[in-house]
């Protein structure tokens, strides 16, 4: 009987001590330790926690970039799958000593990706510290509770043209530019440097970038004129992982070998 009471009391205490991360949070740049573009940007997180399921939407708005994320965790021990820049991440999460501890693993171009995160709420519940280690470095983001930032998550996203410095034809929200660029690269079987000069994505110096823009206008035109604005033809439709799509089947069967 004593045992039963002891365990009942212990599990009750545990249930009560599970932190509540629900709400909208805004990064406090002064208290955070970030580098590069992230240090200047405004980052927000919107957390929906219900039982063992935690869903986090993130938005990072820089002067000239924007990122959005949608993350799912399950503290019951069940694995969840998240995606970051096209890389699938097998995710395990658990509460450990008042902190949400997250481990994500995946492979990107044959490279192993490992991300370890802890999310620790302050005792008063008004701030939340997220420490991320991806094996190459550690970033600490301190968030303040910010219900007034809820509109950031409901407002229409900023368009690519309004955020980046030299977008002429790409008609997508700014946060999707990274994904579109990954698609361009995969469609042609190249890396970013095929079209971009190092360190300056806005530059039109490389003729490959200018030609890609012509191709983009052509592809948009086909979808608009022929497919009545249904997105049916992509760069991949012709390129299939090659810089120069073949004209004839014989060439196709030789290509890539
Ligand atoms: C096949 C050519 C091509 C490849 C490969 C490519 N890009 Fe681009 N990129 C473009 C074009 C074209 C634009 C401009 C689009 C427009 O004007 O609407 C652009 C624009 C951009 C911009 C906006 C810059 C600004 O401020 O205006 C960024 C950032 C960018 N690319 C990043 C990347 C990254 C990162 C990669 C690799 C993952 C990549 N690109 C691969 C052709 C390419
Ligand atoms: C209707 C078919 C078709 C589609 C769709 C298409 N391309 Fe092309 N693309 C070609 C052909 C054909 C060539 C080769 C032209 C040549 O050899 O002169 C080419 C060449 C290119 C080149 C130059 C490659 C080099 O070796 O310098 C770039 C860059 C390019 N395409 C980017 C794109 C991008 C980005 C998209 C999507 C927005 C796209 N293309 C969609 C047919 C297509």
Q: Look at residue 47 in the predicted model and tell me its pLDDT.
A: 98
CA dist 128 and 140 (Å) reads: 10
Mean pLDDT for the stretch of residues 103-108: 95
Name the nearest CA neighbour of 201 among 170, 233, 247, 237.
170
- Ligand 1 neighbourhood includes 194 CB (under 6 angstroms): yes
Categorize the per-residue pLDDT at 257 as very low, low, confident or very high, splitting at 50, 70 and 90: very low
Q: How many CB atoms lie within 10 A of CB 153?
A: 14
pLDDT at 1 over 50: no
- Ligand 2 neighbourhood includes 211 CB (under 6 angstroms): yes
Q: Look at residue 16 in the predicted model and tell me its pLDDT.
A: 52
Residue nearest to atom 3 of ligand 1 (CA): 195
Mean pLDDT for the stretch of residues 189-202: 97
- Ligand 1 neighbourhood includes 186 CB (under 6 angstroms): no
Residue nearest to atom 39 of ligand 2 (CA): 235
Residue nearest to atom 12 of ligand 1 (CA): 213
Could you tell me which residue, 109 or 245, shows the higher pLDDT? Answer: 245
- Ligand 1 neighbourhood includes 169 CB (under 6 angstroms): yes
Q: Look at residue 11 in the predicted model and tell me its pLDDT.
A: 52
Burial 139-151 (b: 16+ CB within 10 A, else e): bebbbebbeebee
User: How far apart are the CA of 186 and the centre of ligand 1, in A?
Assistant: 13
Atom of ligand 1 nearest to the CA of 213: 12
Q: How many CB atoms lie within 10 A of CB 25?
A: 27
User: 205-233, pLDDT tens digit by residue?
Assistant: 999 999 999 999 999 999 999 999 999 99
What is the rounded end-to-end Cα distance, in angstroms, of the chain? 73
pLDDT at 185 over 70: yes
């Amino acid at each position: 009987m004593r045992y039963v009471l002891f365990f009942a009391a212990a599990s009750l205490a545990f249930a009560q001590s599970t932190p509540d991360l629900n709400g909208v949070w805004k990064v406090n740049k002064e208290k955070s330790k970030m580098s590069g573009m992230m240090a200047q940007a405004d980052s927000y997180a919107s957390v929906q926690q219900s039982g063992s399921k935690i869903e986090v939407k993130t938005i990072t708005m820089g002067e000239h970039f924007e990122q959005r994320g949608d993350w799912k965790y399950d503290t019951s021990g069940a694995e969840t799958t998240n995606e970051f820049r096209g890389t699938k991440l097998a995710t395990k999460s658990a509460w450990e000593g008042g902190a949400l501890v997250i481990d994500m693993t995946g492979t990107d171009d044959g490279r192993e990706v490992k991300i370890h995160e802890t999310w620790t709420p302050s005792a008063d519940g008004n701030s939340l510290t997220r420490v991320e280690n991806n094996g190459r470095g550690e970033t600490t983001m301190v968030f303040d509770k910010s219900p007034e930032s809820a509109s950031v998550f409901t407002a229409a996203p900023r368009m690519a043209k309004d955020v980046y410095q030299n977008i002429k034809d790409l008609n997508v929200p700014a946060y999707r530019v990274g994904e579109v660029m990954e698609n361009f690269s995969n469609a042609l079987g190249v890396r970013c440097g095929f079209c971009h000069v190092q360190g300056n994505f806005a530059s039109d110096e490389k003729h490959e970038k200018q030609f890609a823009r012509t191709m983009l206008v052509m592809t948009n035109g086909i979808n608009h004129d022929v497919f009545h604005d249904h997105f049916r033809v992509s760069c991949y439709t012709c390129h299939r992982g090659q810089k120069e799509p073949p004209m004839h089947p014989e060439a196709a069967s030789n290509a890539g070998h």
